Amino acid sequence: MLKDVVRTKTYQNVIYKNSFLFKDKVVLDVGAGTGILSLFCAKVGAKHVYAIECSSMADMAQEIVKLNGFSDVITVIKGKVEEIDLPVPQVDIIISEWMGYFLLYENMLDTVLYARDKWLVKDGLVLPDKASLCLTAIEDADYKEDKIEFWNSVYGFDMSCIRKQAMMEPIVDTVDQNQIVTNCQLLKTMDISKMTSGDASFTAPFKLIAERDDYIHALVAYFDVSFTKCHKLLGFSTGPKSRSTHWKQTVLYLEDVITVCQGEAVVGSMTVAPNKKNPRDVDIMLKYSVNGKHCRVSRTQYYRMR
């Protein structure tokens, strides 16, 4: 993730180019990892940074902080946000890189919202403060044949039961922008500074318009994040038309191969919610229909990111 230049450089620019936001402020870094965001904040004059990390990486972060001479400014706390006590009653800023695949996978957003409600001072900052989930459609015959249809006949044997499983699992991969057949549509925008935990579960309608005559094999989801409280708007996109990130895109293969003509629409809705048995997983229900010149279809499909 440190080598993900889009991710790390954006956070560095947010902090370095808006040092006035951090100067003499108490900062909470949620899910600190190596502590890179905490180091950025300390370098621009934060009064104190509390870096919370529940994995064994916390020990390494502690050493990195010491190696770089910030032991008096950065306190690394090992543990879960929901179980630890902070040495201070409030913080001025919460910064976190909480986004997972499909934005919501691993459900770290809930942890950020918990920290916000417990420790953030009134009118304090949450960075980033906006996140948006977007959708488009692609032609992907070769990959679908290789990864999905393969199971219909494996050395002459029917293994289609595995195909059913493969269809239900969204694939995280890099999509070539030349595969995109339709427009891209905003599905959901989240305001991290105001939203509640329940807002991460939603149903959103979509209408994807074909920009050329082609086939559609899958829908593709990606997300954008924004830091709107900066002097100049900053952020990044994980979309197929943007510079690639470690999040890539999330591909949801369709049971149907949809034939579309330019101007025809794929309409439907997407319902997203944490899995009830394992809240780190994401359940997705996709409803879609097409009523075109060469293709008429209506279907509901279920997926689970795990």
| 299 and 170 within one domain | yes
In this structure, is residue 120 part of a structural domain?
Answer: no
CA distance 92 to 50: 11
Percentage of the chain exceeding pLDDT 70? 100
- The catalytic residue among 53, 97, 139, 264 is 97
- Per-residue pLDDT band at 125 (split at 50, 70, 90): very high
Q: pLDDT digit string (tens) for 23-62?
A: 999 999 999 999 999 999 999 999 999 999 999 999 999 9
Bond from prior residue into 128 cis (ω within 30 degrees of 0): yes
Q: Please name which of 180, 182, 202, 181 lies closest in space to residue 133, comparing C-alpha atoms.
A: 202
| 210 and 138 within one domain | yes
| 61 and 13 within one domain | yes
User: Which residue, chain included where needed, has tokens 């470690």?
Assistant: 246
What pLDDT is attached to residue 199?
Answer: 96
Residue 215 · residue 261 · CB < 8 Å: no
- The catalytic residue among 106, 149, 169, 211 is 106
List of E strands, 192-264 = 202-209, 214-227, 234-237, 249-260
Q: Please name which of 232, 215, 233 lies closest in space to residue 224, comparing C-alpha atoms.
A: 233
> Does position 16 have pLDDT exceeding 90, yes or no?
yes
Question: Is residue 97 among the annotated active site residues?
Answer: yes
Q: What domain range is 186 assigned to?
A: 131-305
Residue 210 · residue 264 · CB < 8 Å: yes
Residue 34 · residue 61 · CB < 8 Å: yes
What pLDDT is attached to residue 1?
Answer: 79
Helices (H) and strands (E) in the chain — how many of each?
Answer: 7, 15
| 281 and 150 within one domain | yes
What pLDDT is attached to residue 228?
Answer: 96
Determine the average pLDDT of the residues in 222-246: 96
CA distance 228 to 79: 30
Number of domains in the chain: 2
Determine the average pLDDT of the residues in 4-20: 95
| 142 and 51 within one domain | no
The pTM of the full predicted model, rounded to 2 decimals, is 0.94
Question: Is residue 53 among the annotated active site residues?
Answer: no
- Per-residue pLDDT band at 124 (split at 50, 70, 90): very high
CA distances from 239 to 53, 223, 231, 242, 288 (A): 28, 7, 25, 5, 21
CA distance 226 to 99: 12
CATH number at residue 30: 3.40.50.150
In this structure, is residue 90 part of a structural domain?
Answer: yes
| 160 and 53 within one domain | no
Q: Half-sphere exposure of residue 92, counting CA atoms within 13 Å on the CB side? A: 13
What pLDDT is attached to residue 3?
Answer: 87
CATH number at residue 195: 2.70.160.11
Residue 110 · residue 45 · CB < 8 Å: no
| 173 and 84 within one domain | no
| 166 and 63 within one domain | no
- Per-residue pLDDT band at 131 (split at 50, 70, 90): very high
Q: What is the mean pLDDT of the chain?
A: 96
CA distances from 245 to 32, 101, 136, 174, 275 (A): 19, 11, 18, 9, 26
Q: pLDDT digit string (tens) for 66-122?
A: 999 999 999 999 999 999 999 999 999 999 999 999 999 998 999 999 999 999 999
Determine the average pLDDT of the residues in 221-249: 96
Residue 236 · residue 7 · CB < 8 Å: yes
Torsion of CA 256, 260, 263, 265, to 10 degrees: -10
In this structure, is residue 115 part of a structural domain?
Answer: no
| 192 and 70 within one domain | no
CA distance 277 to 160: 26
